[in-house]
């Protein structure tokens, strides 16, 4: 059973990713760490607890991480995720103090004790802080899967940059560099694949039919996100980036890509851009696996079969679900 730490900035799509991870019995989730991104890390930690309560997994510990990027001023994404980070659902808070241990301390203590993979769904500030202090610990991370970056797809917060790596470009740069020095590959689940994962009103209605309780929760936190996508991109539906990173970790066959050396620009108008050396100009050892194709229908069935339950509490089997094309 793979041991995993989820590093995130919940955030609406992070919340859906946490629902998926919490419903996946093959994962041993050692803890959740939050980082300032969509919302400040402390708000994200409270949101993570709200999602774990919904998922029936309140025992999973949540640690508050870095409140600001390594070097540049913090810019949140509350315009997209709402003032509470969960689509202005303003769900009741989960009482109780958070651990004194910070996210970076938790990561360091855990990786000293045992190996654990990391699924990163937000800016990479926590990981960069950890690896700056303890570069040796990268060898204790079997897989580092990061939702972030883009290869051929355009950016979502500048013409060339994706938010997680734009929000803290120095952290992203450092993580790709550390992976290069360790001879490892960061598995980059970027916009090239996540843009194909769209939660549509049809799909939302279908989810509510299959599992009214979970469907209602998903509708409650995604309404704001749907409005944002109509307002700014004139699309009906919302791109849910983060759940694909969790699904890909669990089922790598859902995506395809290639190995490459990747660097991250930190200065000027291209700040946060992932420069993927797909043609091997620089003749450098690959430090990344760049995902470029995904089976969106396969993801949909995987996602729904994991997070939705029948009235008797059992899960729907993928083969019991409508064919994705019926729900387009």
By CB under 6 A, residue 122 contacts ligand RIB: yes
Nearest to 275 by CA among 283, 264, 266, 285: 264
By CB under 6 A, residue 241 contacts ligand RIB: yes
Q: How far apart are CA 295 and CA 279, in angstroms?
A: 25
By CB under 5 A, residue 65 contacts Ca ion: no
The stretch near Ca ion (CB under 5 A) out of 1-9, 189-197, 216-224, 291-299 is: 1-9
Binding-site member from 7, 13, 84, 265 for ligand RIB (CB under 6 A): 13
The CB-of-150 to ligand RIB minimum distance in angstroms stands at 9
Cis amide bond preceding 201, omega within 30: no
Footprint of Ca ion on 219-238 (CB under 5 A): none
By CB under 5 A, residue 11 contacts Ca ion: yes
Q: How far apart are CA 304 and CA 26, in angstroms?
A: 16
Q: What is the DSSP letter of 99?
A: P
Residue nearest to ligand RIB (CB): 163
By CB under 5 A, residue 14 contacts Ca ion: yes
The stretch near Ca ion (CB under 5 A) out of 79-87, 151-159, 200-208, 240-248 is: 240-248
Which of Ca ion, ligand RIB, none does residue 192 bind (CB under 5 to 8 Å by kind)? none
Which of ligand RIB, Ca ion, none does residue 17 bind (CB under 5 to 8 Å by kind)? none
Which residue, 79 or 112, has its beta carbon nearer to ligand RIB? 79
Query: 315 - beta bridge partners?
Result: 309
By CB under 5 A, residue 44 contacts Ca ion: no
- Cα 198–Cα 240–Cα 50 angle in degrees, nearest 5: 135
Residue 227, SS3 per DSSP: helix
Would you tell me how many other CB atoms lie within 10 Å of the CB of residue 152?
11
Q: Are 172 and 275 in contact (CB under 8 A)?
A: no
Using only the alpha carbons of the chain, give its radius of gyration: 18
Residue 310, SS3 per DSSP: coil
| Residue with tokens 């991370």, as numbered in its chain | 141
- Cα 97–Cα 23–Cα 295 angle in degrees, nearest 5: 130
Positive or negative CA dihedral for 57, 81, 248, 261?
A: negative
Residues 6+ apart with CB under 8 A from 159: none
Nearest to 168 by CA among 77, 99, 289, 44: 77
Which of Ca ion, ligand RIB, none does residue 162 bind (CB under 5 to 8 Å by kind)? ligand RIB
Total of residues contacting ligand RIB (CB under 6 A): 15
The CB-of-163 to Ca ion minimum distance in angstroms stands at 8
By CB under 6 A, residue 146 contacts ligand RIB: no
The stretch near Ca ion (CB under 5 A) out of 18-26, 118-126, 148-156, 262-270 is: 118-126
By CB under 6 A, residue 147 contacts ligand RIB: yes
Which of ligand RIB, Ca ion, none does residue 163 bind (CB under 5 to 8 Å by kind)? ligand RIB
Which residue, 48 or 121, has its beta carbon nearer to ligand RIB? 121
- Interface residues with ligand RIB (CB under 6 A) are 9, 11, 13-14, 37-38, 121-122, 147, 156, 162-164, 241-242
């Amino acid at each position: 059973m793979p041991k995993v730490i989820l590093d995130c900035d919940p955030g609406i799509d992070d919340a859906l990713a946490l629902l998926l991870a919490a419903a996946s019995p093959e994962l041993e989730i050692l803890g959740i760490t939050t980082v300032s991104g969509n919302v400040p890390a402390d708000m994200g930690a409270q949101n993570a607890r709200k999602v774990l309560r919904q998922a029936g997994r309140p025992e999973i510990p949540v640690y508050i991480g870095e409140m600001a990027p390594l070097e540049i001023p913090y810019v949140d994404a509350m315009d997209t995720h709402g003032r509470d980070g969960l689509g202005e659902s303003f769900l009741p808070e989960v009482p109780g103090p958070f651990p004194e241990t910070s996210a970076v301390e938790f990561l360091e203590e855990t990786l000293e004790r045992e190996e654990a993979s990391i699924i990163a769904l937000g800016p990479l500030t926590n990981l960069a802080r950890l690896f700056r202090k303890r570069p040796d610990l990268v060898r204790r991370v079997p897989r580092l899967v990061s939702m972030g970056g883009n290869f051929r797809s355009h950016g979502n917060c500048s013409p060339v940059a994706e938010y997680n790596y734009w929000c803290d470009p120095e952290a992203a740069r450092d993580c790709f560099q550390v992976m290069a020095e360790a001879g490892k590959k960061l598995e980059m689940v970027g916009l090239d694949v996540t843009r194909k994962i769209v939660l549509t009103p049809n799909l939302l209605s279908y989810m509510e039919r299959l599992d009214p309780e979970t469907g209602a929760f998903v509708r409650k936190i995604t309404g704001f996100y749907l409005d944002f996508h109509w307002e700014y991109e004139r699309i009906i539906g919302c791109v849910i980036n983060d759940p694909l990173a969790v699904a890909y970790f669990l089922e790598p066959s859902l995506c395809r890509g290639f190995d490459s050396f990747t660097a991250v620009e930190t200065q000027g108008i291209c700040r946060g851009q992932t420069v993927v050396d797909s043609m091997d100009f620089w003749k450098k050892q690959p430090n990344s696996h760049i995902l470029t194709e995904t089976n969106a229908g396969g993801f949909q069935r995987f996602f729904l079969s994991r997070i939705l339950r029948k009235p008797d509490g059992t899960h729907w089997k993928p083969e019991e679900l409508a064919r994705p094309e019926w729900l387009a």
